[in-house]
Chain A
Amino acid sequence: MNLANTTTLESAAAFHLPPQFMGWFSAKGWQPRAHQLELLANAEAGKSTLLIAPTGAGKTLAGFLPALVDIVRRDKPKPGEIKRGIHTLYISPLKALAVDIERNLGTPIMEMNLPVRVETRTGDTPASKRQRQKIDPPDILLTTPEQLSLLLSHKDADRFFGDLRYVIFDELHSLVTSKRGHLLSLALTRLWALRPSIQTIGLSATVADPDDLRRWLVPQKIDEDQRSELVMVDGGAKPNITILTSENRIPWSGHSARYAMEDVLAAIKQHKTALIFVNTRSQAELIFRELWTINEDSLPIALHHGSLDVSQRRRVEEAMQKNALRAVVATSTLDLGIDWGDVDLVLHIGSPKGASRLAQRIGRANHRMDEASRAILVPANRFEVMECQAALDANYLGAQDTPPVGNGALDVLCQHILGAACAGPFFDDALYGEIISAAPYAYLPRETFDECLQFVANGGYALRAYERYARIRQTADGSWRITHPSVAQQYRLNAGTIIEAPMLNIRMTRAKTGSGNSGKPGQPGKPGQPASNAMRGGPTLGKIEELFLETLMPGDTFLFAGKVLRFEGIRENECYVSNAQSLDAKIPYYAGGKFPTTTYLSEQVRNMLEKPETWDKLPTQVSQWLGYQKHFSVIPKAGEMLVETFPRGDRFYMVAYAFEGRLAHQTLCMLLTRRMERAGARPIGFVASDYCVAIWGLRDFGAMINNATMRLGDLFNEDMLGDDLEEWLDESFIFKRTFRQCAMIAGLIEKRHPGKEKSGRQMTVSADLIYDVLRSHEPNHILMQATRSDARAGFLDVARVGALLARIKGKIIHKNLEQISPLAVPVMLEVGKESIASEETSDALMAEAAMSAEALVMEAMGQFF
């Protein structure tokens, strides 16, 4: 833990710090910092507090100080007194973080010789220890949101939390915006109900709206906004951020940043330890490989991402703490506040896509507030150059774009209701009262709560078919109870909100071909050979998505854990691979992980585009490119949207520069193509980037716009978000994927059932089927409502499409061109690379793979004659 080494205004004695603490601080030559004391004063006054501070501000000690002081002060347990319950709960979003805190908190406790026992409880904690913790609880329990929900679902929760005083939430900003955060806020309401006097302490990085978090920390009252106290610590030294300059050509599109690898390696050489952040796991694999291809000095460079095996990740983390590494290529698994060795440089590959994300990541480079962190942004393409520059210009390391907390999800609420029933009988009025004290659920209508309750009880179908199988039932005294102990068992197996895409373990085995050594270049294994029955399992390397594996044939090679692997086959739930060498290894893809550029950053880029005088700051290649655009087409003003049309090959293209981020653009594309279809423009495909959309088709879009058979004003009319959206939404694959998650979180589909393991893929199929049935028979079922609101907010970014349509009303400029414009080149290079799955395209793909009519006739002839 990083402790204060600066002095503060107030005297610590004024806050009655117990002598152990005073002695300890002075022995270290330190004084408590102002915010640490302020937090303590709030706590002693019985108030809950949100502490917003940058990394290195001694946030953790500040959070624990009130608890430590209170434990020291309380009376010693009398002999024969029953064991006391937990005094302080600490909730962290990461298991690793809880473990890290245990280690770091141990030092001051030992040095001060405090009578405080600290323990962790995570999914990895052995059953025997959990059992012991129940009987003999520690003073401070470090745990995760899921474990808290589980603890609360037991009948003895009342006793276990009976002495609870403080609840500390670490990295609160990252917790609250997800469904995990919603579940956690509901768990907190149970704690409030059990112990109304508890105080909360939230620790957070800088956020756009601290009031969101302040409300989150305290019980809300009807029609009355409640907020915790707020303590803010200034950001310390300003980070030193630059954009990488490279002699090499910056690519038009793509995300690999391969062009810059030599420069990246040079930067690593000039520093002690570098963290190289990338946006996706695929990118991590690729960059790692590229760096090692040119790493002639064999600098110790490691790889860290969420799909790698835990043991491998731990090894990297340990090496990092010992300062044994020069660089780590990492994804967001390293985003959160785990303590690292002496990192003195952060390299960010690609645009960070959002301001707060960049701030968080750069914070990793430094643990001392008074030293400037050093960071280099490495844009992967020309638009990203502008994004990075715009970011720096806007003095950007604020937190303008942290997402809002948002309304609590209904699937999460369903899970919570079942959990409450597992803990003991409840009355619906009382539970509803509890739930609306959580800030994310403060405005939950009673009817919606009742629908969720019905869903938990018997599925909540209009056709009351399942009442006799109810999981919970209202008894004569009006309370709701579980109908059978197995219901609680089921709940505990499936609690939590983290739903991963179906993944398989990757296990090493011997290559099927050759002598068993790794294949030599030019001697690839024979493809298509079936995997041997004698495949024996070696070490596990990590997990990979089943969807990607289905595109592989035995003998294909792919990159994983920094190695080139040869795909040997699948056995049960494991994917067997062997070492290989290949120059064209595939890069695995992972669902999700691509963040759209935030509204704030998009706006900055539009502003920058408008002002040619700011282009000087950009690399010559980029400013020239914009210059050409100005010459050949138009540079739109910040408030306008440029639409270009041009022919290419035998197709006609329309490119609209909307600058609202990839997700909103995908939604826009789907809606636009429907409209263009109706206008008779015969669109046949589209692609969406973070910056613009491109749609192509068979009729001359430009001419149609010019002769007013298709009007841009109508095309981009706001009413697009009405019926068109509704219709398309229900058919979209995004919707099905969202439904699957909601169904699993709400408990319609079980993640796990005792003694029954289903493979993920089978699960996906059945969720789709359930969706189809529900959609045609009960489209307003509570889970359909939950899915719709999730999809609108999350995957579709409907709000941003709406904002765009409002913003560009009457401000669309059309430019009909003879050929592609310079600005359109990047998106045109994406054409064909990405496409959206739909039933039509699936059929087209099957038609492509199907036997030709002639082949079928030949075969039929063979059968008939």
Chain B
Amino acid sequence: MRPALKSISDTHSGKAFALRFGGQNMLLDPAGVLFLQDFNALIVSDMHLEKGSSFARRGQFLPPYDTAATLDRLGALIEKYAPDIIISLGDSFHDDQGSHRLADSAINQINELAKNRRFIWVTGNHDPSPPEHLPGECANELSLAGIVLRHIANPQEKAAEISGHYHPCATISVRSKNVRRPCFACDGQRLIMPAFGVMTGGLNLADRAYHGLFNRSALRAYMQGRDQIYAIEAKNISGC
């Protein structure tokens, strides 16, 4: 078998980007996870495990390898950051029955990842019920040192907030060439995480769905490059 694709296997090698947000130091990893240094907490969002089988139920046979591949990536990052807490920020499963369809090997994998640390499943719109037969605890929202963590951003939220759900990605256009990449989107007040699952698509930051969530002048897209994060100002993001 060929060596696995770089962007999937070498996730631990990327250079993280240091960001001060909500009074905390965080690292934005180019693999698409967030590390809160003071809490030694790793945040991952929108893993969409069992997306392949979710489609297969409707007769579209996407490859059945997405869960294992996503968990492998997560495993590499857990090795890199050795967190005490792992927070999965919702849509951990592509549908509410997802956790029931997990192969035994995947359940073992998750047990392994959760060993000796707290694993918190935040509920999402795809997976409103707590996952079954899996380690860890479940919550609708969390608060860490004044930062609110939830799956879908609340436009009324006054505190600093970290969420997922939208799968943000940004397009830049340099000399008539486009580059589109998943990104962390942040305006200093609110941070939206990119989707982590290997088979998750993205929604462009220019989309109307983001209206009212960001202070446009302060918005930055932290685009996921191959080995590092690129911070892009709003004026350089296509459509913003």
Contact = CB atoms under 8 A, between A and B. Distances in A.
Interface string B179-191: 1110000001000
Interface size class on chain B is 35 or more
B179 A845 contact: yes
A766 B48 CA distance: 13
Contacts of B68: 777
B225 A776 contact: no
A585 interface: no
A209 interface: no
B202 interface: yes
Contacts of B20: 860, 863-864
A843 interface: yes
A466 B201 contact: no
A161 B20 CA distance: 72
Interface size class on chain A is 35 or more
A241 interface: no
Contact of A775 (B5, B60, B64, B199): B5
A762 B232 contact: no
B5 A772 contact: yes
B61 A458 contact: yes
A463 B231 contact: no
Nearest to B2: A779
A547 B61 contact: no
B152 interface: no
A487 B69 contact: no
B223 interface: yes
Contacts of A222: none
Interface in A417-461: 455, 458-461
Interface stretch (B78-86, B122-130, B141-149, B167-175): B167-175
A773 B231 contact: no
A847 B181 CA distance: 13
Contact of A777 (B7, B59, B63): B63
Nearest to B4: A776
Given A750-B60, A843-B226, A851-B231, A765 B201 contact: yes
A303 B6 CA distance: 47
A389 B59 CA distance: 55
Interface string B21-63: 0000000000000000000000000000000110011011111
Contact of A466 (B2, B53, B171, B236): B53
A817 to B, nearest CB: 30
B13 interface: no
A469 interface: yes
B230 interface: yes
A466 B64 contact: yes
B230 A850 contact: yes
B179 A842 contact: yes
Interface string A544-571: 0001001101000000000000000010
Contact of A773 (B18, B181, B199): B199
Interface in B207-240: 220, 223, 225-227, 230-233, 236, 238-239
Given A551-B178, A769-B199, A466 B61 contact: yes
A766 B199 contact: yes
A848 interface: yes
A831 interface: no
Contacts of A842: 179, 181, 225
12 contacts: A461-B64, A465-B53, A486-B59, A550-B178, A762-B201, A769-B198, A772-B198, A773-B199, A776-B4, A776-B5, A835-B177, A847-B230
Contacts of A465: 52-53, 56, 64, 103
B8 A776 contact: yes
A777 B4 CA distance: 8
Contact of A748 (B60, B103, B180, B230): B60
Contact of B232 (A460, A749, A850): A850
A747 B4 CA distance: 25
Contacts of A765: 180, 201-202
Contact of A851 (B18, B65, B199, B233): B233
B63 A770 contact: yes
Contacts of A698: none
Nearest to A571: B208
B232 A547 contact: no
Interface in B103-121: 103
A770 B64 CA distance: 10
A414 B177 CA distance: 36
Interface string A765-791: 110011011111111010000000000
B66 interface: yes
